[in-house]
Amino acid sequence: MYVQNTSVPERKPVTVPGLSAMKAQGRRIVMLTAYDASFAWHLESAGIDVALVGDSLGMVVQGHRSTLPVTLDQMVYHTAAVARGLAATLLVADLPFMADRDLAHALDAGARLVGEGGAGMVKIEGAAPHILESIAALAARAIPVCAHLGLTPQSVLKFGGFRIQGKEQAAADRVLSEALAVQAAGADLLVMEGVPAELGRRVTAALSIPVIGIGAGPHCDGQVLVIHDMLGITPGKRPKFSKDFLAGRDSVAAAISAYAEDVRSGAFPAPEHCFN
């Protein structure tokens, strides 16, 4: 196969300070996962702000039941592939399960995802003391960090499944204090996953860094989805918080553009995609 005419409209590169400015200006941030260069090119062409090489690739690409089997080598491989398809879109890559087991491993993982993979930011789940230490150490070495709280998929064994977090008042208050802690440690961005919309609103209002929601309601500063979910090609039932943007459209490009438009206008997520 020959790859022809891969030019995309020129845009100013999306940067970490640029994301903060978007929060300050009330402009919603559009984030979407990608795992290879071709889909990355589609994200770039549609003007998606942030591409995430999520360890969700363990489920939607590799066919595992969780993200736990994904290795750092695999994350570096997919991140480098996605980087080759991007130009202005900011690239975020996940630290996979146990890559954050201690400070030395977290720093090594961050260095590989940025240096070999070409990521512009790394994402790390949770707010345990060793995670806060890693966030601070990565930030001190000028590696931008995206934190990830709420339904953190790497904790699926502890949660007993992919369960909505922060439903009770005490649990919601704990998530809010974790959010303040990751911000204080030096995170530049926060993904909030699988929490009631009211908690998404509280966290977004309390933080100065942008908050990107997935199943966290309409009040976040931006939204992220797994691309297979929003194209309706994930095997099995579509998650409640997602929407099939390819339904009724005739191309992947049209679906991605519609997602971007609906996030920016506030049309997505609608009440049926949110949790109480």
Selected catalytic residue, list 193, 198, 261, 272: 193
Provide the minimum distance between the beta carbon of 33 and ligand KIV in the complex, in angstroms, as a whole number: 5
Decide whether 162 or 206 has the Cβ nearer to ligand KIV.
162
Does 193 qualify as catalytic in the annotation? yes
Provide the minimum distance between the beta carbon of 10 and ligand KIV in the complex, in angstroms, as a whole number: 28
Decide whether 41 or 97 has the Cβ nearer to ligand KIV.
97
Closest CA to 229 of 250, 244, 214: 244
Q: Which residues bind ligand KIV (CB under 6 A)?
A: 33, 52, 54-56, 94, 148, 191, 193, 214, 224, 226
Decide whether 5 or 231 has the Cβ nearer to ligand KIV.
231
Closest CA to 80 of 125, 35, 136, 48: 35
Provide the minimum distance between the beta carbon of 219 and ligand KIV in the complex, in angstroms, as a whole number: 17
Q: Are 192 and 176 within 8 A, CB to CB?
A: no
Angle between helices 252-265 and 37-45 (to 10 degrees): 50
Q: Are 31 and 222 within 8 A, CB to CB?
A: yes
Provide the minimum distance between the beta carbon of 3 and ligand KIV in the complex, in angstroms, as a whole number: 26
Decide whether 44 or 125 has the Cβ nearer to ligand KIV.
125
Distance CA 241, CA 191 (A): 14
Q: Give the H/E segment covering residue 212.
A: strand 211-214
Distance CA 232, CA 191 (A): 22
Active-site residue list: 193
